[in-house]
C-alpha cells in the first residue's frame, strides 16, 4: 500500500474504504470484509449513522490499532445552550465512544458551514492532546480553505472533496499542494453518474490494461496523489478496488482522462442557498 505523508508527518494510506450510504445494519459485515481484504484505512462520519458498526467491525477484526487509520467527521455544531467549542469536544468524544477507540487518526469538519472557526479551535486542542493525530476539513472551496488557514494556528492536513473524472479539481489540488493540504476524493466513481462505468474512453483504457473502469479511475486518482476511499458491499469488488498498484496509466492516457472534466459538481454546490439551508437544518450528535 502506498502512503502519503501529511503536513504534520502522519502517514495516511492513499487508498481506503468508505462507508457513506451503507446502511447501519450492513456496515459491520462490509467493514469486516474490507479489513479481511486488506484495507487498513477506514472512513466514516457522525452523520452516516454507522460509526458504532464500524467500531464493532474493528473490534471483531483483531487487527492492532496501530495498523489502522481511522477517519470520522464532525457535523455542523449548533450549541443552543453552550459554546460551539464545547459541543465540538462533546461530539468528538461521542464519535470516539461509538467507534470504541481511544484516539482518531484523522478528524474532519464535515461541512464548511456554521461556526467552523470555533470548531477548528476545539479540534486544534484535540490534536495537541493527541486525541486526533491529524485534523482537516471536507467540502471546503479554496476561498474558505485559505481563509481558515490564514486565521488559525494549524493548517488542515486534509481537504476531502468531490473528485472524479467529471469533476477533477486540478486547480483546487494545486492550491492545496502549495498550502500543504492533502486532497482526498469522495465520490470517486461519481456514484455511476454520467454512465461512468460504461464511458467509452474509460472503457477503452480499461481494456488496454485488462482492468475494470473502476480500477482505471482509482489508478488515475492515485497517480495524481489523490487519497481515495471507494465504497462497496461486495467482497469481490473490494478486492478489485485494492488491486490497482500493479499497473500504470501512461501520460497519454492521463491526458485523455483529463478531457472528461466538466468543472462542475454532479451532486450539490455548497454555495447554493437552498443547499446551505438544508444542510444547516440537519442535526447529528
Helix H or strand E segment including 106: strand 106-109
Whether 111 and 138 have beta carbons less than 8 Å apart is answered as yes
Give the C-alpha separation, 72 to 46, whole Å. Answer: 7
3-state secondary structure at position 11: strand
Decide: residue 241, CB within 10 A, 0-12 exposed, 13-18 middle, 19+ buried: buried
Contact present, 183 and 226 (Cβ < 8 Å): yes
Calpha distance 212→119 (Å, rounded):
41
List the one residue out of 110, 6, 5 whose CA is nearest residue 51. Answer: 110
Total Cβ atoms within 10 A of residue 42:
25
Neighbouring CB atoms inside 10 A of 216's CB total: 26
Q: Which residues pair with 45 in a beta bridge?
A: none
Give 154's DSSP letter: S
- The three cell numbers locating residue 185: 476524493
- Helical spans, DSSP H, in the chain: 24-37, 51-61, 84-99, 116-128, 142-150, 170-179, 200-209, 213-223, 235-242, 251-258, 273-280
- Catalytic residues, which ones? 48
Amino acid at each position: 500500500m502506498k502512503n502519503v505523508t501529511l503536513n504534520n508527518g502522519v502517514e495516511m494510506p492513499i487508498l481506503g474504504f468508505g462507508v457513506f450510504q451503507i446502511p447501519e445494519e450492513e456496515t459491520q459485515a462490509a467493514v469486516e470484509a474490507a479489513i479481511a481484504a486488506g484495507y487498513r484505512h477506514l472512513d466514516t462520519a457522525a452523520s452516516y449513522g454507522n460509526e458504532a458498526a464500524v467500531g464493532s467491525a474493528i473490534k471483531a477484526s483483531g487487527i492492532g490499532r496501530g495498523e489502522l487509520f481511522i477517519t470520522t467527521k464532525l457535523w455542523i455544531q449548533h450549541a443552543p445552550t453552550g459554546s460551539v467549542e464545547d459541543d465540538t469536544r462533546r461530539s468528538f468524544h461521542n464519535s470516539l465512544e461509538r467507534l470504541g477507540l481511544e484516539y482518531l487518526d484523522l478528524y474532519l469538519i464535515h461541512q464548511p458551514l456554521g461556526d467552523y472557526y470555533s470548531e477548528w479551535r476545539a479540534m486544534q486542542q484535540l490534536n495537541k492532546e493527541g486525541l486526533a493525530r491529524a485534523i482537516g476539513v471536507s467540502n471546503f472551496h479554496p476561498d474558505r480553505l485559505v481563509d481558515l488557514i490564514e486565521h488559525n494556528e494549524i493548517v488542515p492536513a486534509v481537504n476531502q472533496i468531490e473528485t472524479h473524472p467529471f469533476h477533477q479539481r486540478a486547480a483546487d489540488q494545486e492550491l492545496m499542494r502549495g498550502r500543504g493540504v492533502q486532497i482526498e476524493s469522495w465520490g470517486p466513481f461519481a456514484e455511476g453518474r454520467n454512465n461512468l462505468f460504461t464511458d467509452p474512453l474509460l472503457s477503452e483504457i480499461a481494456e488496454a490494461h485488462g482492468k475494470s473502469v473502476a480500477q482505471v479511475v482509482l489508478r488515475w486518482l492515485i497517480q495524481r496523489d489523490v487519497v481515495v476511499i471507494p465504497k462497496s458491499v461486495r467482497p469481490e469488488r473490494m478486492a478489485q478496488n485494492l488491486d490497482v498498484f500493479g499497473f500504470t496509466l501512461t501520460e497519454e492516457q492521463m491526458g485523455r482522462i483529463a478531457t472528461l472534466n466538466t468543472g462542475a459538481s454532479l451532486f450539490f454546490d455548497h454555495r447554493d442557498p437552498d443547499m446551505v439551508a438544508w444542510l444547516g437544518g440537519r442535526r447529528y450528535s
